[in-house]
Every structure is written in structure tokens, then in C-alpha cells.
């Protein structure tokens, strides 16, 4: 995709500005929320402990607040993930990025994986929130990724997502194509982990990604603005 085909506001609304690093201070979180509001991105993806604060900071800006569930390993009991989801919704989250049960998927225990996702989806629907299912593709085979797509669809999730950003590798163009080909049109694909340049983001849009987890938000959007200005 050529940068002249897409505007800065369009790309901004594809980005979930990530505020998930464990070392972030309250000041870092507030600065991240201010950046998200300044660029008018789709959302911030905040740590659960920061959701209420982020919701307060971003109230009235048009930037949503998301958070993570079962992060980063997906190994929590379903009941714990459901409790996390409900607490996040009560604090003001509108989007939930949950990590599926990676080990159970690799075991071939599809029923356990689907039930786990569905539990979070059901809780999310109570609060009108979206659910994005994180696969953590660095640990999965092609067959496991395809099964994860099918199970996420069956459980009623809204997005499938490549990675947490905390595994040995993150999003790849090949995985975006694979995931887009194996979920129905109603579902969207989110790329996360290593999406730090405008060129990679645009390549992934072409491959089928609709949303991106990013920490390099300002760099990406400033680069696009500069290119648009040069081309005009």
C-alpha cells in the first residue's frame, strides 16, 4: 500500500497505543494517554491496574481504553480470566485482549481452549466490550494457528491477534495473511509485537491487519504525516 493512499487519521484509528511494559510509572501512563489523545488513536491498551486512571484521563477524547486478560502467558484459570474481564469493564475498559490457553491449544484440547475464550467473551458482552484473542504465534505451528482462528470464531471473539509483544518474536506478514484467510469477514486481525515502522504497518494492512498494537505510535504517524506533506 502506498502512503499516498491513506491519511494520518485513518492510520491513527488502526493503532492501540500500548502501555503494557511492567516498568511503566504512573507518570509514564499519563504521558502515554496524553500522546494517544493528541494523535487520536483507536485506544490505549493499558495494564489492568491502570485502566481506571486511563479511562479518567481519556474521557471525552474519543480514544477508547483497552486492557489485557490472562497476560502474558494465558495460563490463568478461566474463572480468573472472567473475573479480570469483569473488573476491567467496571474500571472503564471497552476492549479486552485475552491470551488463549497456549498449552491447552498445543495439547489439542480444543474444547478447553474454546470454553476459555467463550467465558471471557460472555463476560465482555455484559459490558458491551470487544474481545481480541492473542495467540502468541511464536510458540505455535501453522496448524495450531489455524485451529486457534477457528476456535476464536466459534467462541464469538471479535479479533484474532498475533502476539503479546513479550514472546521471542512478534507479528509477521505471513501470519497476518494466514489469520485473515482463516477467520470469517466479521472478524478482524490485530498485529502486535515489532510493528515499529510505517512501512511494515502498511505492508500488514495490505496483508489483512485492521488494528495494531504499537509503542512507536508517534514515530509511525509522524513519518506518514511527513511523507504526505512531501507528496502534496
What positions carry a catalytic annotation? 97, 161, 190
Q: Greatest CA span in the chain, whole angstroms? A: 54
Of all residues in the chain, what percent are helix, strand and coil, respectively (each to 5)?
50, 15, 30
- Short-list 182, 213, 191, 166, CA closest to 70: 166
Half-sphere exposure of 212 (CA within 13 A, CB side): 31
C-alpha cell at 225: 504525516
- β partners of residue 66: 45, 95
Q: How many Å from the N-terminal Cα to the C-terminal Cα in the chain?
A: 17
Amino acid at each position: 500500500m502506498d502512503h499516498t493512499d491513506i491519511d494520518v487519521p485513518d492510520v491513527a484509528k488502526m493503532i492501540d497505543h500500548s502501555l503494557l511494559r511492567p516498568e511503566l510509572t504512573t507518570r509514564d501512563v499519563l504521558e502515554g494517554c496524553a500522546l494517544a489523545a493528541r494523535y487520536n488513536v483507536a485506544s490505549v491498551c493499558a495494564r489492568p491496574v491502570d485502566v481506571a486512571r486511563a479511562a479518567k484521563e481519556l474521557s471525552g477524547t474519543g480514544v477508547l481504553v483497552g486492557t489485557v486478560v490472562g497476560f502474558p502467558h494465558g495460563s490463568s484459570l478461566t474463572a480468573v480470566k472472567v473475573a479480570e474481564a469483569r473488573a476491567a469493564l467496571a474500571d472503564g475498559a471497552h476492549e479486552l485482549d485475552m491470551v488463549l490457553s497456549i498449552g491447552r491449544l498445543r495439547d489439542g484440547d480444543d474444547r478447553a481452549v474454546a470454553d476459555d475464550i467463550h467465558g471471557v467473551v460472555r463476560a465482555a458482552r455484559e459490558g458491551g466490550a470487544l474481545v481480541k484473542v492473542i495467540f502468541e504465534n511464536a510458540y505455535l505451528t501453522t496448524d495450531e494457528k489455524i485451529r486457534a482462528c477457528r476456535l476464536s470464531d466459534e467462541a464469538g471473539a471479535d479479533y484474532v491477534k498475533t502476539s503479546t509483544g513479550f514472546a521471542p518474536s512478534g507479528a509477521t506478514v505471513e501470519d497476518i495473511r494466514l489469520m485473515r484467510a482463516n477467520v470469517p469477514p466479521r472478524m478482524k486481525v490485530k498485529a502486535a509485537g515489532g510493528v515499529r515502522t510505517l512501512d511494515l504497518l502498511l505492508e500488514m494492512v495490505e496483508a489483512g491487519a485492521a488494528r495494531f498494537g504499537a509503542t512507536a505510535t508517534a514515530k509511525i504517524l509522524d513519518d506518514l504525516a511527513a511523507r504526505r506533506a512531501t507528496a502534496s
